[in-house]
């Protein structure tokens, strides 16, 4: 995209006569040879795209006509001769709704009666606003954050302009400090360590004593109850193994349950899982004019 000042050299103040050759500033010439229109859309709306990607609402033009040729387009409208930029979003009627198409203007002619004719091509900077990959939050490897191709505030303005539609995608948990992607593990509620383990306990049925398995050791392959002194205990018949409470090897905290612990992959913040910040992933949808339909003759 260029700012309009750069396009001034391409502006032709000549009557639009098919077959004419008009001199441009410098040595360039433009051949206005008759071209066969592939498609013509009446009742189009034109919105210039500012360099920061926002719509220039003050220059919205309605009732325009977009003609698609092989290798180029022509836009006819009554309105400002100079849009702020050469990047335009054009909304054309498509059935019940409007379809968006990006146009990059190369040259502007003014005809009598205030009618402006702008020649250009499909695509350009404005097309980035319509690309699905720029409209869907994606995890960026550099930031480890879900980011859109444009700031959400910018895309929201295109929603209000009638070009984009918001799409709810998902809900994800992110770092409470930097909003980047964390990992989660079950760990110590007190210090966040994942170096936790269980004690192995033995439950002696006969006397109902429950104690550390190591306290039942009574020689090679023999187990004895430290409370009632019964010997030669047989697993299943005399006792069962029981999983004891969790114990943290770092801070010696003990509890019957572990807790989810988050660890940010970007800023290394360690935090209780329930403190994770939850964000909604919202994307945008552009109803684009089917490029194939544009290129095929009606």
The region that residue 52 occupies, defined by phi over 0 for left and psi between -120 and 50 for alpha, beta otherwise, is alpha
CB nearer to Zn ion: pick between 35 and 200: 200
Min CB(153)–Zn ion separation in Å: 23
Per CB under 5 A, which region of 73-81, 123-131, 171-179, 277-285 contacts Zn ion? 171-179
Asked whether 216 and 207 are in contact (CB, 8 A), the reply is no
Q: Are 274 and 261 in contact (CB under 8 A)?
A: no
Please check whether residue 116 is in contact with residue 78, taking contact to mean a CB–CB distance below 8 angstroms. Answer: yes
Fill in the per-residue mask, 222 to 261: x = in contact with Zn ion (CB under 5 A), - = not in contact: ---x-xx-------------------x-xx-x--------
254-255 vs 115-122, strand pairing mode: unpaired
Shortest Å, Cβ 277 to Zn ion: 10
Closer CB to Zn ion, 14 or 224, in the complex: 224
CB of 247 within 8 A of CB of 198? Answer: yes
How many alpha carbons lie under 13 Å from residue 256 in its C-beta half-sphere?
A: 1
CB 65 within 8 A of CB 77: yes
> Of 269, 282, 287, 288, which one interacts with Zn ion (CB under 5 A)?
269
Interface pick for Zn ion out of 193, 199, 254, 258 (rule CB under 5 A):
193
Cross-strand bridge partners of residue 114: none
- Residues in the interface with Zn ion (CB under 5 A) total 22
Using the minimum distance from each CB to Zn ion, give the nearer residue, 99 or 180.
180
Quick check: 204 binds Zn ion (CB under 5 A)?
yes
284 vs 160: CA distance, rounded Å: 12
**136/190 with CB nearer Zn ion:** 190
Q: Does 177 bind Zn ion (CB under 5 A)?
A: yes
Span from 26-34, 39-47, 89-97, 198-206 in contact with Zn ion (CB under 5 A): 198-206
Site residues (CB under 5 A) for Zn ion? 175, 177-178, 180, 188, 190-191, 193, 204, 207, 209, 225, 227-228, 248, 250-251, 253, 264, 266-267, 269
């Amino acid at each position: 995209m260029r700012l309009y000042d750069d396009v001034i050299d391409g502006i032709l103040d000549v009557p639009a006569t098919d077959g004419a050759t008009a001199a441009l500033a410098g040595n360039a010439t433009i051949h206005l040879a008759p071209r066969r229109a592939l498609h013509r859309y009446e009742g189009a709306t034109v919105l210039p795209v500012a360099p920061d990607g926002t719509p220039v609402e003050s220059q919205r033009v309605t009732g325009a006509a977009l003609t698609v040729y092989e290798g180029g387009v022509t836009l006819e409208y009554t309105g400002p001769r100079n849009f702020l930029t050469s990047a335009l979003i054009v909304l054309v009627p498509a059935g019940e709704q409007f379809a968006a198409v990006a146009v990059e203007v190369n040259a502007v002619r003014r005809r009598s009666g205030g009618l402006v004719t702008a020649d250009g091509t499909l695509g350009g900077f404005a097309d980035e606003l319509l690309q699905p990959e720029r409209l869907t939050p994606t995890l960026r490897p550099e930031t480890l954050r879900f980011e859109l191709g444009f700031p959400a505030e910018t895309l929201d303005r295109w929603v209000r302009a009638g070009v984009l539609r918001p799409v709810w995608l998902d809900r994800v948990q992110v770092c409470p400090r930097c909003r980047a992607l964390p990992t989660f593990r079950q760990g110590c509620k007190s210090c966040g360590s994942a170096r936790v383990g269980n004690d192995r306990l033995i439950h002696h049925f006969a006397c109902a004593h429950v104690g550390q398995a190591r306290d039942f050791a009574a020689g090679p392959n023999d187990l004895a109850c430290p409370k009632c002194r019964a010997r030669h205990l047989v697993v299943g018949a005399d006792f069962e193994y029981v999983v004891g409470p969790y114990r943290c090897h770092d801070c010696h905290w003990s509890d019957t349950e572990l807790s989810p612990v988050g660890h940010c992959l970007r800023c290394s913040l360690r935090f209780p899982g329930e403190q994770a910040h939850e964000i909604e992933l919202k994307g945008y949808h552009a109803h684009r004019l089917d490029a194939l339909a544009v290129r095929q003759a009606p």
